[in-house]
C-alpha cells in the first residue's frame, strides 16, 4: 500500500487492473441507500466515476439503519442493481 493522491488514503501499489469489462459484480459501500436502489456516498464521486464505465452488477451493502426513505440524487449518481442489508 502507498499513500494515495486523494486525502492520503492508502491505496494498492502496482498496475491498474487492465480488464474492467471482465468484472461481474462490484460490491459498493455507502453512507445511506433507499428502496429505489439509490446510494449516498461521501460526496467525491469516486465510485460513480468507476460505476459509469462498467456493465458489472452493482450491489450496495449496508446495515439496516442506513436504509432511508429517500436518498438525494444528482444527474451523475449511479443506481445500484440491488441493495443488501439485514432487515
Pairwise CA distance, residues 41 & 35, whole Å = 16
Verify whether residue 87 is a known catalytic residue: no
39, 42, 86, 87: the active-site residue: 39
**Exactly one of 48, 69, 81, 87 is catalytic; which is it?**
48
Distance (Å) of CA 85 to CA 1, 25, 30, 46, 81:
30, 17, 12, 22, 14
Our answer to whether residue 81 is catalytic in this structure is: no
Distance (Å, whole) CA 60 – CA 4: 24
Catalytic residue, candidates 24, 42, 64, 77: 77
69 is catalytic: no
For residue 3, the cross-strand partners are 10
Catalytically annotated residues: 39, 48, 77
Amino acid at each position: 500500500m502507498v499513500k494515495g493522491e486523494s486525502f492520503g488514503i492508502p491505496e494498492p501499489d502496482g498496475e491498474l487492473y487492465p480488464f474492467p469489462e471482465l468484472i461481474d459484480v462490484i460490491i459498493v459501500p455507502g453512507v445511506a441507500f433507499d428502496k429505489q436502489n439509490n446510494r449516498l456516498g461521501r460526496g467525491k464521486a469516486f465510485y460513480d466515476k468507476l460505476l459509469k464505465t462498467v456493465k458489472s452488477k452493482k450491489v450496495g451493502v449496508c446495515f439496516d439503519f442506513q436504509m432511508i426513505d429517500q436518498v438525494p440524487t444528482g444527474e451523475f449518481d449511479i443506481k445500484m442493481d440491488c441493495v443488501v442489508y439485514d432487515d
